[in-house]
Amino acid sequence: MHLVCFEHRPAAPGARPPADSGRERPCDELKAPNLDALEASWPGRRRLGALLTEGPRAGDVVDLNGAFAVRLALEDVGAPEAEADSLLPSDPMLFLRRFEATLPHARSVLEFVQACLGRWDAPDLVRAGSLLRRRDVRLTAPVPAPGKIVCVARNYATHAAEIGQAAPPEEPVLFLKAASAVIGPEDDIVIPAASAQTDYEGELAVVIGRRARRVHRAEALAFVAGYTVANDVSARDFQGQRGQHFIGKSCDGFAPLGPALVTADEIDDPQDLALTTRVSGETMQSARTKEMIFPVAEIIAFASRLMTLEPGDVLLTGTPAGVGMARKPPRWLHDGDVVEIEIERVGRLHNYVRQEKD
């Protein structure tokens, strides 16, 4: 599955929420049992969704919680919205924290929607607000509020060499990045006014789906919920010259994630994926994840020896060669740049860059 976090885009000028907007906007009346009582979300509320990946509606978004409520109403289940909330929450982080229990429901709902699309007598999921055109939603980070972001330094030998570290590390070198740095695929990377050396780092991000403590490498991938694309944006003038590693990695907006969380069952081998980073159309990084010094399973096993990895935590697995600071002359990000990071079978993360004003 390709799980997303989305918001409804604001309605056209002049459109207003209903007078009782203390609640969400009601769906249009539907000719099916109990459906007229269900409610759709109004702009500004983040919800869990899934991308349709094939067929005439490919790219459109399913509101999983809403579609589940529709299915339960058709089955004449009492209080379908409350039942859907208890089994398949609309909040993406609550979904991830209960991932083992909620994922099967998400799969069954997606199957229900796909079956509906092939039936002439199916409920109108569009009118119910449960099937949304891509242009009508705004994608936010698929993990909007991770408990922690654990990063790996110098995990590609080529990157280690380009920054003057010829000898590879003997064990994963971990550091933390503030969760407040997370932004989504439709947000801008804002260069702080205080930094003149902001850099990009394309990375494969791993999202934890089960509580992991002292797990063995052989079983580590069973604790993965899925994968997404990340940009470990870095203020090099703080990270390096001033020795302010944490703040140089944790500025607001320095952890773009997205566009989707691709569940682990769709990525049979996370060590065989192509990774490409482009800045304003120019290819800066090109590698495969098999070039990692420490593969995903080893990173999870090592980190979990000393800290508990919780569902919803994010691991950034390191960046390959080609970062801006290693170029001659250095290639820093500037106002107006576009950063695109593409990982095979995971997705393409696209962010504009703008300069913070003094």
Q: How far is CA 121 from the centre of its chain?
A: 35
Taking residues 2-9, what's their average pLDDT? Answer: 96
**What does the pLDDT read at residue 33?**
44
pLDDT exceeds 90 at position 22: no
pLDDT of 173 higher than 60: yes
pLDDT attached to residue 28: 35
Q: Which of 68, 51, 38 is nearest to 226 (CA)?
A: 51
**Which range, of 34-38, 253-257, 268-272, 280-284, averages the lowest pLDDT?**
34-38
Residue 51 CA to residue 60 CA, distance in Å, equals 6
What is the average pLDDT score of the chain?
91
Domains of the chain plus CATH, in order, are 2-140 (no CATH), 149-355 (3.90.850.10)
Nearest to 212 by CA among 87, 299, 89: 299
What confidence tier does 12 reach under pLDDT thresholds 50, 70, 90? Answer: low
User: What is the DSSP annotation of 108-162?
Assistant: HHHHHHHHHHT-TTS--TTTTTSEE-GGGEEEE-SSSS-S-EEEEES-BHHHHHH
Q: Is the pLDDT assigned to residue 192 strictly greater than 70?
A: yes
Predicted local confidence at residue 254, as pLDDT: 98
Q: Is the sign of the CA dihedral 45, 48, 54, 57 positive or negative? A: negative
Question: How far, in Å, CA of 179 to CA of 143, rounded?
Answer: 10
* Host H or E run for residue 94: helix 92-97
**pLDDT of 39 strictly over 80:** no
User: Which pLDDT score, from 0 to 100, does residue 243 have?
Assistant: 75
With 0-12 / 13-18 / 19 or more C-beta atoms within 10 angstroms meaning exposed / middle / buried, residue 326 is middle
Angstrom distance (rounded) from CA 8 to CA 47: 9
Average pLDDT over residues 38-43: 50
Answer yes or no: is pLDDT of 21 > 50. Answer: no
Question: Looking at the chain, which runs of residues are DSSP E strands?
Answer: 2-8, 47-51, 61-63, 131-132, 137-140, 149-153, 173-177, 182-183, 189-191, 198-199, 202-208, 224-231, 234-235, 255-263, 274-279, 282-288, 314-316, 338-343, 347-355
Q: How confident is the model over 238-250, as a mean pLDDT?
A: 86
Question: By percentage, how much of the chain surpasses pLDDT 90?
Answer: 83
Q: What's residue 298's pLDDT?
A: 98
pLDDT higher than 90, residue 112: yes
